[in-house]
A = this chain, B = another copy of it.
Amino acid sequence: MLVLGIDPGTIKMGWGVISASGSRMTRVDSGTLLLGRGETAGRLVTVWRELQELMQIHQPDVLSLERNFVSRNPQSAFRIGEARGVVMAASAYGGVELAEYSPAAVKKAVAGHGRADKQAMIVAVSRMLSLVDTPAEDEADALALAACHILRQGYDRKVAGALDAARGARRARGRAGVARR
């Protein structure tokens, strides 16, 4: 599985591609796209173009994006929403499945608890992916989002497996019960 994590911002956008095979995760590529301080439409179309290029190069199975509905002021909520909207439309346009995780879910999956600070996240991501170079903040966030999706998939599979096993056991008991009558 190949996952593209995106940390969208209004001035820069972090991105990171992780491949997963079994329980092993490898960083394929990552970086930070500087959007500059020009007019908003120009910055947003840069996000669109970069995403189309990243999806074309890496052909990810999933795009993992932060679900962020908390903001101190409405203006910044609008601004973050604008960048998120472009990322969501771009993923659908590129035919890539979208997954969304809250900041707390990402922190918990990667650093072990939901209140890890930025520095702790950089350390956790670097350790998890055995990175030699330390990623920049937005790049680390994007890699963490990609890693979160992979870890949660594994977790969800395990939970589903356990539930299936439990159901199977109940069914077996049920049949045994019928046979006993």
Q: Contact residues of A with B, CB < 8 Å? A: 39-42, 44-45, 47-49, 68-71, 74-75, 77-86, 88-89, 91-93, 98
Contacts and interface: CB of A to CB of B under 8 A. Distances in A.
Label chain A's interface by main secondary structure: helix
Nearest to A73: B74
Contact of A78 (B44, B49, B81): B81
Contacts of A80: 78, 81
A81 B77 contact: yes
Contact of A77 (B40, B77, B83, B98): B77
A56 B70 CA distance: 37
A68 B69 CA distance: 18
Given A41-B88, A41-B89, A79-B81, 4 more contacts: A68-B78, A69-B78, A78-B78, A78-B80
